[in-house]
Every structure is written in structure tokens, then in C-alpha cells.
Amino acid sequence: MTVPAPRPALRSPTSLETLLKERVGLLIGPELSAIETEIAREIDSPVELIREMGECIAGAGGKRLRPILLLMAGRLAGYSGPRAVHLGCVVELLHTATLIHDDVVDQAPLRRGRPSANARWGDDASVLVGDHLYSKSFALMVRDGDPAVLDTLAHATVSMTEAEVFQLERKRTGTTTEADYLRIITQKTASFISACCRIGALLARADGARLEALTRYGLDIGIAFQLADDSLDFVADEARLGKAIGADLKEGKRTLPLIAALERAAPAERQRIQVVLTSRAPLPAEVEEIRRLVVKYEGVDYALQRAQAYAQTAKEDLGPFEDCEDKETLALIADFVVGRDR
């Protein structure tokens, strides 16, 4: 009897990321390559600016987390076919459109380590090309012709845009509670990731229990992902993160690490944080001062603990499915979104 080789120990973000990349490449590598080809085809345009910006932004790569989750959810539920590739392209184009619009609203200078679209081409071109990618993605959905898929993504995009406006409203009032923050990231990030997982289940025509299990998994993964991402804004290496450290602070955003630190800080420190956050152009030294206070009061630790709890719940959401390599890979993704260092 042959004893199987032990799996690599998940002792660091790097080893976890390597293991996950190997597993994803083995299971859905050809489909991901096909999605890249389709993205390149769909961002091509006779309008030079659309083509140039599309190639720079959508073609810049990234984690491709949403297409990966769609493909893996479909596999776990029993589907493997061309529609998953087509819809994987749809969700990545839609995601790219949201990133462009986010960067315009936030006036972000960087995206994935490069100048953002608005920094390079201006707000007007960025908004228009973002609109074009939104329109393109919905045209592709109509071509797919599945009302359930269209309904799923339509609801997700409405939720995302509502959350964007609510976040802006909270920013203007200068107050964001933990409940407000969780509402924002649930609607803005998690609802779309949940939609991607639900689409995979819809492609497989999964029964009600399995459909809802993958939908919940996506929601919990999405919340965990954003909690971890917002924590990285305070502690990550800027070159690896691909955006300026303290970017959320500069934009006056109140994410969970900051909210937790505000609750624990001394009154004078709390007042100082509020003054910097309401400043139109905080100095780098002021941003660093607040960042250090967030670390001092363990705001990052608190947010990461919450992220780990959501990731654990996501793995438990997969209970209706039998143990298999696809299920294990989705569990690895849950570990990765909270264990990554960028």
C-alpha cells in the first residue's frame, strides 16, 4: 500500500499562496487562460482610448479571485463547461469597471502598483471607460441568456452602488460605526463575490441547499477578504500591496482597524485622529502618526480576528458538499484571503 505524500504545511502566506496557485492551476488552469483570452478580445475596441485603457487596466492581471471562485463553485456543484469561462470574463470586466470608478471617487494615485486610470488619463476618461466596461459586461450577460444569472448580477451591482453612496454619506458626516462599516463591505465587496459563487452553483443547477451554501460561502469570503484588505492598508509593504500604504487614511475612510482604535484611544488621541481625518490634505507625517496609533491600539489585530472568524464560517458553509479536492481548494481560498500579505 502506497502512503500518500503529506501536503505542505501552511506555515506562511507565501507557502499558502504557492500551494493555492498550484492547486488552481491544476484544476482550472485552462479555463483561466481561456478567460484571459476572452477578456483581451472583449476590451478590444475601434476607439483607441478604450482599447488603450482596457489593455492597461483589465490586462494588468490581478488575483482574478472572482473568476476563480465562479469556476471553483461551479466545479464543486458539478459544472464544467464553456459558460463558466464566458461568465468568468463577465464578472472580471464588471469588477474592473468598479475599480475604475472607485479610484475616481477616491482620487487614488495607484492601482496594482501602477498609476491608476484617473491619474494617467483623467477622471472624465476613466468614468466613461468604466461605464463602457459596465455596459459591455451586461451585454455579455444578455448574450448568455440566463435570467437567473442576470438577476443575480443585477442585484449585486445595485447593492454595490448603494453601498458606495452610503460610504460617501458616512464619510461626509465624519462618523462610521462598526455596524455601518460591515454594512458597506457586505454590500460593496461581499455581495459581488457572493454573486460569483452563486453563478457557479446556478450553472450546475444545484439544488436549493447547495445553491444557498455557495451563496453564503461567497458572502463570508467577501467580508473576510475586505477586512483583511483594509488591515493591510496599515501594515503591508507598499511595493507588494500595489497601492500607497495609508491610502484609506488619506481618503478619510473609516475602516474597521481605525474604528476599533478610535474606541480604545485616549480622548486627546481620538480628537487628534478626527482632526487629521477631516483634513483635506493630511501630511504624510500625520498619516503615519494615525497609522501608528491604529497599530498601538491593536485595531489591525481586531480586524484580522474578525476576518479569520468569517473565513472559518465560510469553510463551514461548504458543509452540504462531500469532501473532495474542489471543496478543499475553496477552503484554501478562505485561508488565503485572511493570510495573504498583499
Residue in 76, 69, 38 with CA at minimum distance from that of residue 225: 69
Across the chain, the runs of DSSP E, i.e. the strands, are 110-111, 114-115
Q: Which residue has the cell 491544476?
A: 26
Q: Which residue has the cell 475586505?
A: 226
Q: Are 61 and 23 in contact, with CB atoms under 8 Å apart?
A: no
pLDDT at 165: 94
pLDDT at 151: 96
**Residue 199 is placed in which grid cell?**
453563478
Residue 100: CB partners within 8 Å, gap ≥ 6?
A: 57, 117, 118, 126, 127, 129, 130, 133
Mean predicted lDDT score pLDDT of the chain: 89
pLDDT at 278: 83
d(CA 197, CA 174): 34
Residue in 337, 332, 270 with CA at minimum distance from that of residue 297: 270
d(CA 135, CA 38): 16
CA 75 to chain centroid: 21
pLDDT at 270: 93
Q: What percent of the chain has pLDDT over 90?
A: 66
- For range 171-179, the mean pLDDT: 90
| pLDDT for residue 242 is more than 60 | no
What single-letter DSSP state applies at residue 320? T
Predicted confidence band of residue 237 (pLDDT cuts 50, 70, 90):
low
Q: Are 176 and 257 in contact, with CB atoms under 8 Å apart?
A: no
**Residue 43 is placed in which grid cell?**
476590451
pLDDT digits (tens, 9 = 90+) for 189-212: 999 999 999 999 999 999 999 999
- For range 228-256, the mean pLDDT: 77
Predicted confidence band of residue 295 (pLDDT cuts 50, 70, 90):
very high
pLDDT at 9: 39
DSSP H helices, 43-146, are 48-57, 65-77, 82-106, 117-121, 123-144
Query: What is the pTM assigned to this prediction?
Result: 0.91
| pLDDT for residue 77 is more than 90 | yes
pLDDT at 238: 57
Residue in 103, 20, 112 with CA at minimum distance from that of residue 69: 20
Torsion sign over Cα 97, 99, 104, 105: positive
| pLDDT for residue 7 is more than 70 | no
Q: What percent of the chain has pLDDT over 70?
A: 91
CA 251 → CA 57, 241, 278, 336, distances in Å?
22, 17, 9, 27
d(CA 65, CA 190): 12
**Residue 205 is placed in which grid cell?**
443547477
CA 290 → CA 53, 174, 246, 253, 284, distances in Å?
35, 16, 9, 12, 10
pLDDT at 235: 84
What are the chain's domains? Answer: 20-315+325-339 (1.10.600.10)
**Residue 324 is placed in which grid cell?**
473532495
Predicted confidence band of residue 281 (pLDDT cuts 50, 70, 90):
confident
pLDDT digits (tens, 9 = 90+) for 17-38: 889 999 999 999 999 999 999 9
- For range 57-69, the mean pLDDT: 82
